[in-house]
Amino acid sequence: MEYRRLGASGLIVPALSFGAGTFGGRGELFGAWGDTDVEQARRLVDISLDAGVTMFDTADVYSDGASEEVLGAAIRGRRDRLLLSTKASLPTGPGPFDAGSGRTRLIGAVEAALRRLGTEHIDLFQLHAFDARTPVEEVLHALDDLVRAGKIRYLGASNFAGWQLMKSLAAADRHGLTRYIAHQVYYSLAGRDYEWELMPLGVAEGVGAVVWSPLGWGRLTGKIRRGQPLPAGSRLHRTAEAGPPVDQEHLYNVVDALDEIAAETGRTVPQIALNWLLSRPTVGTVIVGARNEEQLRQNLGAVGWKLTADQIARLDAASALTPPYPYYPYYRLPDFTRLNPPAVPVAAVQ
């Protein structure tokens, strides 16, 4: 496994992290993702740790908290070997303190996550969305208090717009409060919007990307192809409208390019899609999920090798879209490629 520093921080994360969105199986959306129980989760954690995957990501909304509960049970007895990442601020109920990022909500959400995870601290706590109704100063002061209390080690955001993230960073600097060092974002060969504004912001401000849905909401698994129906077992049948949209013809062009490079390298389509992400600027870690051991082992095969410059260029070309104004015609990604986070030697984390 390759390790990297996350953003401008001392937090060392694996290039691949494990996403526990399949744990629990409660509700229509997350039930379609998976229904991994504690015994199955423990086995997936075993495989991950053996491969050097040391960070596990979840959220309070995943299966109504059951994901955190199952993950907490699965890691019992080995908490010191791993990092826990979770998120809060999306609605978890109908009450006035069940959503948002106000002080009362955040303190309650962190306490509840600690109980479900069975731990005394969260290594990376992220706001799952921007709360426009709460002043950023209130949010940051509450989070800073939780950091000072030892309940959170590092802070991140998720799904913020560029101005929302920059406003928060500026307020943290102005008041001497703990900064966000990570931004959990959607980024894949099927959806490269992250590059237009958030990636340059991450470079400039030292905010590392924690990538969610790196296979384009299940569209880059190698099972979705031009002129063929969705496979019977695809979760897209039930969840497609909940995920990031993608033009079908554009998707097929990307898959065609992945197929070509898969034939050249002997790697699978998902492995190539994941490896491409690991070469991108600001990317600290890519979250991979798995409903079973086979999927997990295949995803783990995305590290330990590199695409050639020519292969990366062909994937870039097949997946490129014209960005909207004001990014077009002024934005050029190659200006940022030299700023990819350097890998951390394995010896540094042993």
Give catalytic residue positions.
62
First to last CA, the chain: 12
CA–CA gap between residue 324 and residue 301 (Å, rounded): 35
Beta pairing partners, 182:
156, 208
CA–CA gap between residue 333 and residue 94 (Å, rounded): 43
Q: In Å, how far are 73, 235, 236, 237, 244 from 240, measured between CA atoms? A: 30, 8, 5, 6, 8
Annotate 50-83 with DSSP letters as a single string. HTT--EEE--TTGGGGHHHHHHHHHTTT-GGGSE
Annotate 22-41 with DSSP letters as a single string. TBS--SHHHHHH--B-HHHH
Structural contact between residues 93 and 63, judged by C-beta atoms closer than 8 angstroms? no
